[in-house]
Structure 1
Amino acid sequence: MGDERTRRAVAAATAAARDLDLTVTDPVVLHDLFSVVVHLAPAPVVARVPTVVPEPLRADTAAQATRMLDELDVVAWLAGRGFPVVAPSPLVPAEPVERDGFAMTFWEHLDVVPGAHPDHLRETAALPGLHAELAGYPRELPLLTSLDDTIPACLTQLRDHPELIHPDELDRARREWDLLAPVVTTRAGLRKEFPGIRLQPIHGDSPVYNVIATTSGNVYADFEMTCLGPVEWDLALSGEEAVDAYDTAAAVLGRPPVDRRLLTVMEAGRMLQVVACLALVPRLPQLADGLAGVLDQWRDSPIAGGLTDEHAEAPEPETEPAKAGTREPFA
């Protein structure tokens, strides 16, 4: 199944690239997990084609397009300011393309240092610089896109898969979402629970694990989940030593230290996101081994980072500000 999925994604990316007047004769798959990432050689362009996504997002092409547009816009803005990122390819329009049932984006191809493994502690110490830069991003972003209705939808799917998660554990996960959702899914909920919380544009998906070592230096990649949120979300599950390194570097830049209680709640959200990812295992069996360590950590952690029913009272309704401008879903 995986081989066929990969073949179809590569074929779609190749056809889409040729439609954009790129010369593609020898496509090379660089990465294949949730997305197929393919160098469209000899063109200096890389296509990223999401192939395994939660069901609600897979069925909502407009939502997929909006997320891709957000990523392209944020990264293009960072690149324009000279920040080290994998930038959208300048050879094609910076917009998502749909082809043969796949949505995809196109990125510049960089020379990667073979076998390089970035130092995650050092990269965490560099992360305040990324957050300081992102704080100036001028457009509106959605709140914590990883903590949305895909989580309860995936938990519902898991009712039919007791071989993936014990029913008692699934009950815990559902109770945990009931506690977390009123706090983490709205700005009002976050501000009620964490008065004075600072929300800003963030990477959204473990940025220190999305650093690529190139011959020109390290660059940040994969802003697929870029969103509005606390910086603590980007630090979830990084470990106490890394958080201390972040605080030391943040102080130099005049930025506030990590809120440890908020970090604990963000880590609860991150672990619950991993639990929900079990719903993708039937489509991506190799994912099971990769999730095992975090699942063990989740089992030993306090439910919802210590939130209780008292904290889960629904906040006042709020209206999310509209995004600036109007966007077409796909090119």
Structure 2
Amino acid sequence: MPQGRTRRAVTAAVEAGRALGLRVERGTVLHDVFSVVVHLEPQPVVARIPVVLTASVLPERQAARQQRELDVVAWLDAQGVPVVPPSPLVPRYPVRRDGFPMTFWELADVADDHQAYHGVDVSYAAQLHAALARYPGELPFLAPFNDGLPDMLTELDGVEVLTAGDIDRARGEYEALRRILADAETFARTFPDASVQPIQGDGPSHNVIRTKSGIRFSDFEDVSRGPIEWDLAMLGTAAIDQYESTASQLALRAVDREVLRVMDYARRLQFVGCLTLIPQLPLLAQGLATALDEWRATPSFS
């Protein structure tokens, strides 16, 4: 990761914390991939600063996205759902400092065996969906697909590993998928029996933190309204069967296999769009090369 960017993000977080009234002696980086996560020592407060964005880069849209996350996670925490909640020591809204948007969270009591992106079984996603289904606030429809991906697809011409045919296919698939996924009403016309609800938006069974008190959900940046199949995309048959076993106990609907097929296509296309982020985050290159091969080996969406 670019060290200069990380240093600037840490400095911005420390200064923002002090401006909010926190006594901050130093910032310690806990994680640095898509976001720089900074412990504002000695306070039990963590600043999360997104630096590689899969959503819109417009400041007002970044702020709206972050506010949705804060609101949803605070609500889940109040319902007793195990999450890493917003910090109660600062106001619950995003802050922008020196060009960096950031939010503030409680410091989790991370367990010794925690590993970033090391997921849990998908039954946890069903439990989260059951809780999210009751969320009363307004949310956009499938924000990961409709906000950010269009911008990334306009930048595909600068991606050296893509052929002209790849780029034409990607943009054509987006237009075909958008005819189904542009909004809730459009989706309902295609899939009238597939309900939509609040969803985590980015693989909830992988966005967890192992703490000394148990598993906690984290990273709700892509929280949206949509079909539960988006959160299950590309997990495979065994995981879907496991999800449905738990979902049936929680009175959640069964997974719609045709909706899942569409979500798989949309998620693969999101990975293709993420190729534009490699200059900002070079470690993406290896994983996305595999995703690109899988996308090329899959028939074009129709």
TM-score range for the pair, normalised by the shorter chain length? over 0.9
Once the two structures are TM-superposed, the CA of residue 119 in structure 1 deviates from its matched residue by: 7.3
Once the two structures are TM-superposed, the CA of residue 33 in structure 1 deviates from its matched residue by: 1.3
C-alpha distance after superposition, 1:21-44 (max 9, x if no partner): 212223211111111111111110
One-letter amino acid matched to 1:49: I
Contact 1:158/1:164 (<8 A) preserved: no
Q: Is residue 280 from structure 1 mapped to residue 277 from structure 2 by the alignment?
A: yes
One-letter amino acid matched to 2:53: V
Once the two structures are TM-superposed, the CA of residue 192 in structure 1 deviates from its matched residue by: 1.5
- In the superposition, the TM-score normalised over structure 2's length comes to 0.95
Q: Where in structure 1 are there 5+ consecutive unaligned residues? A: 308-331
The 1-side partners of 2:30 and 2:114 are apart by 15
The 1-side partners of 2:162 and 2:219 are apart by 29
The 1-side partners of 2:32 and 2:147 are apart by 25
Contact 1:49/1:103 (<8 A) preserved: yes
Correspondence for 2:290 among 268, 290, 293: 293
Once the two structures are TM-superposed, the CA of residue 227 in structure 1 deviates from its matched residue by: 0.5
| Alignment correspondent of 1:85 | 83
The 2-side partners of 1:147 and 1:276 are apart by 10
| Alignment correspondent of 1:318 | none
SS of match in other structure, 1:180: helix
One-letter amino acid matched to 2:144: S
SS of match in other structure, 1:136: coil
Aligned CA distance change for structure 1 residues 65 and 149 (closer, same or farther; 3 Å)? closer
Contact 1:124/1:246 (<8 A) preserved: yes
Aligned CA distance change for structure 1 residues 38 and 296 (closer, same or farther; 3 Å)? same
| Alignment correspondent of 1:229 | 226
Q: Is residue 107 from structure 1 mapped to residue 105 from structure 2 by the alignment?
A: yes
The 2-side partners of 1:257 and 1:303 are apart by 26
The 1-side partners of 2:158 and 2:297 are apart by 24
Contact 2:56/2:147 (<8 A) preserved: no
Number of aligned positions between the proteins: 301
Contact 2:113/2:210 (<8 A) preserved: no
Once the two structures are TM-superposed, the CA of residue 210 in structure 1 deviates from its matched residue by: 0.4
Contact 1:116/1:213 (<8 A) preserved: yes
Once the two structures are TM-superposed, the CA of residue 288 in structure 1 deviates from its matched residue by: 1.1
Once the two structures are TM-superposed, the CA of residue 169 in structure 1 deviates from its matched residue by: 1.1
- In the superposition, the TM-score normalised over structure 1's length comes to 0.87
Contact 2:46/2:104 (<8 A) preserved: yes
Aligned CA distance change for structure 1 residues 297 and 164 (closer, same or farther; 3 Å)? same
Contact 1:47/1:104 (<8 A) preserved: yes
Contact 1:38/1:47 (<8 A) preserved: yes
**1:1-331 paired onto structure 2 within 5 Å:** 2-54=2-54, 57-58=56-57, 60-116=58-114, 120=119, 123-148=121-146, 150-161=148-159, 163-304=160-301, 307=302
Aligned-residue CA RMSD (Å): 1.6
Q: Where in structure 2 are there 5+ consecutive unaligned residues? A: none
